[in-house]
Amino acid sequence: MRYASRYKLKKDGIFKASEKIVLIGGSLIGALRTGAKIDSLLGKKKGNGWTENKVGYENISVRYNKQVNSDNFVVLHVENRTLFDVSYLEAKLKKCLEEDISVGLVLDTNAESLDQIYYDFDFIEAIMTKYKIDFPIYLNIEGIINNEKLNLSVKAAIIEAFVSKAEESKMYIGIYGSDTTLTLCDQYVYDLSLYDCFLIQDKDDIEYTGTYHVIKDIDGVITASPNLAEIIEDKELNKADNFVFSSPVTISDSDEIFTYAVESGLSVEELKKYNKRLTDSKDILYIPNIFNSSLNVNHSKNTENSRNEIARGIDISNYQTTIDWQEVAKKMDFVIVEVARGSGYLSSAKTQIKEALEHNLSIGIYFLIDKEMNAKTYKTRINNYLDKLDDELSDEIKNHTYNAQDIPVFLDIEKYTADNNYYEILKVFKESCLNHGYDKFGIYGNRSTLISIVKQVNESLKDEEGIESIENWGFYIWESGGRFYSGREGTHKDDITLDELKPEENQSRYSDGTYLYTPDILQATNVCTDTGAYNSLNHCDVSFLYDLDLFSENNKQDEDDILRDIDLGTERIINLDKYPNLPAYQILCNLDYLLTGVYTGFAIKVIGRLLIIKLKDEALKLKR
């Protein structure tokens, strides 16, 4: 039996696409229209806004335009699984949860084979396990249908694979695409008549004849009818308790791989590629959970090997004599590079940073401090280090993205020394980081060292600045010494592989009943042997990240910030160099959207990296 959309369309008379009506509990809600104007789909007003979940938005910023409220719904697009994309998506999901806004997901897949679409689905499942998604999960078929390399049967197989897995896990699944693409797909590739669609209108008259309850009109207005969140809640869809995850099986020889591949409908190569993304084990094989699979395996909810929930990374010191960057990029999400040790700047830093960026790894940097240090001495030292790093990187990585605002900087404090004034040391460290454009800073140490330092710093913060904790001061905490950490690093006795390594349980730290900090990164081991980075004993430190915002872009400005940077007058100028990661067209779109209804119009031109906006005098008067 199929679930989700087919469940809704076929069971209990909820939707009956052939008659073009919508029924809930036997009550007529409204007619499904083909070619209807968007105004006819809007519901009655509720106060100053629309009826709940009638009006929607796509890809909102974390800070939200003021128009988005709890009466609206938001649909977030999911594409890449880089650390930044995951953290930015999580920030949006958290914001929706805080604001009580219904949220759905659109998978913008680039899949060209079954193993890729199964991995995409695993990612969606991981998100939904962690966050409440009370609007539909849409598969964007634009990339599939318009991919000239795929024949019709492969396109149909990719779509079927995704919707089947979603239905087995009782998700509300829908299809996302333009009117043209939905029509082509329905006629020639895959029967969409049983699925609820999110239709993007690309012409005045809509041609698609199937069911669509969310529509984006030519003007970009998104509306839904009826309240899909209510239906999902009533039918108990999108619940993690119903999810069926990929199944681990133990294999003893390569012949078994062929058997499992045949039974699961994959080629041996596809099955191996799928597993390569999930595990490095040669004995454990993960079988993608396929609808009506004949596999007699335990469909346990095992997500331990998924790196979507907790990011994994290494720190690379000057002791790493051999680094296979392709191997590191395959196994790790982030790398933190040592730049200086004591009074010595490390010449290896620029090469390691460059390699990490070339391999699309999120990066951080760290500096190891001497045991005994005064703030004045360290201020000179850290500024010299950062100046030298800036000089070296300006030419070395000019073709790569290295934005100081996105890169966390840590002070590695190996041992607590009571004579040190850590408040003053961290104060000059923070000031130096900010002066060089680094907005994210933190400290590294083992638990006992951190507890002693944070306790001292917190007391000084309360007295000097009226701040409760080091975290409120803006510092991230990176703690070493997990349960797989070894004091016998110079031997092979405690070697560990990534398969054996498990994430640490992240808990807040207290001293005498007083809250001190919660680690943002936990170092699990210092003796891992298969990370791709090796010292003389093939060891490397491995850490798990619990605050994905640490590596996210934090220098994107919202509309209000942009406007504050524009000088008043009939000609306004924005320096685009202040927004290195924000394309000019995005700034224009934001301004156009923000100023609609306030300004009667404006002319623009771009000179170098300056955006000049000329506004009509009448509009300026309205704004003022």
pLDDT tier for residue 557 given thresholds of 50, 70 and 90: very low
CA 624 to CA 621: how far, in whole Å? Answer: 5
Per residue in 192-204, pLDDT (tens digit) is: 988 899 999 999 9
Q: Can you spell out the DSSP letters for 426-480?
A: HHHHHHHHHHTT---EEEEEEHHHHHHHHHHHHHHHHHHT--S-TTTTTEEEEEE
- Cα distance between residue 164 and residue 156, in whole Å: 12
Share of the chain above pLDDT 70, in %: 71
Cα 217 to Cα 98, 179, 203, 224, 324, distances in angstroms: 28, 10, 9, 11, 50
Alpha carbon 419 to chain centroid, angstroms? 42
The pLDDT tens digits of the residues spanning 601-611 come to 455 555 554 55
Residue 102 has pLDDT above 90, yes or no: yes
Please say whether the beta carbons of 425 and 382 come within 8 A: no
DSSP, residue by residue, 299-367: -----TT-SSSSEEEEEE-TT--EE-HHHHHHH-SEEEEEEEETTEE-TTHHHHHHHHHHTT-EEEEEE
Residue 516, judged by CB atoms within 10 A of its CB (0-12, 13-18, 19+), counts as: buried
Is 522's pLDDT higher than 60? yes
What single-letter amino acid sits at 203? K
Kindly list the strands in the beta sheet with 21-24, ordered across the sheet, starting from the edge strand earlier in the chain: 15-16, 21-24, 27-31
Write the pLDDT tens digit of every residue in 129-171: 888 999 999 999 999 999 999 999 899 999 998 998 888 889 9
In eight-state DSSP terms, residue 379 is: H
Q: How confident is the model at residue 563 (pLDDT cuts 50, 70, 90)?
A: very low
Q: How far apart are the C-alpha atoms of 504 and 543, rounded to whole Å? A: 9
Q: For residues 543-566, give the mean pLDDT.
A: 56
How crowded is residue 153: how many other Cβ atoms within 10 Å of its Cβ? 9
Q: Distance between CA atoms of 488 and 368, rounded to whole angstroms?
A: 21
pLDDT, one tens digit per residue, over 356-380 is 888 888 899 999 987 888 899 999 9
End-to-end Cα separation, the chain, in angstroms = 62
| Distance from C-alpha of 184 to C-alpha of 207, rounded to nearest angstrom | 10
What does pLDDT average to over the chain? 76
Q: Do 133 and 127 form a contact (C-beta atoms < 8 A)?
A: yes
Specify the range with the lowest mean pLDDT, choosing from 9-23, 74-88, 306-320. Answer: 9-23
Report pLDDT for 383: 93
The Cα 141–Cα 153 span in angstroms is: 14
pLDDT of res. 304: 34
* Beta-carbon count within 10 A of 161 CB: 24
Select from 431, 424, 439, 441 the least CA-distant residue to 375. Answer: 424
Predicted confidence (pLDDT) at residue 555 exceeds the cutoff of 50: no
**pLDDT, average across residues 401-409:** 85
pLDDT digits (tens, 9 = 90+) for 201-232: 999 999 999 999 999 999 889 999 888 999 99
Contacts with 481 (C-beta within 8 Å, 6 or more apart), sequence order:
446, 447, 523
Residue 302 CB burial class (10 angstroms; 0-12, 13-18, ≥19): middle
- Alpha-helix runs per DSSP H in 31-141: 83-98, 114-130
* Apex 177 CA angle, 201 and 360, nearest 5: 125
Q: What is the pLDDT of residue 448?
A: 92
Helix axes 114-130, 152-168, angle to 10 degrees: 30
- Residue 272 has a pLDDT of 85
The mean-pLDDT minimum among 80-84, 237-241, 269-273, 615-619 falls in 615-619
Predicted local distance difference test score (pLDDT) of residue 405: 85
Q: Phi, psi at residue 313, to the nearest 5°? A: -150, 175
Mean pLDDT calculated for residue range 428-457: 94
Q: Is the pLDDT of residue 48 over 50?
A: no
The DSSP secondary-structure symbol of 370 reads P
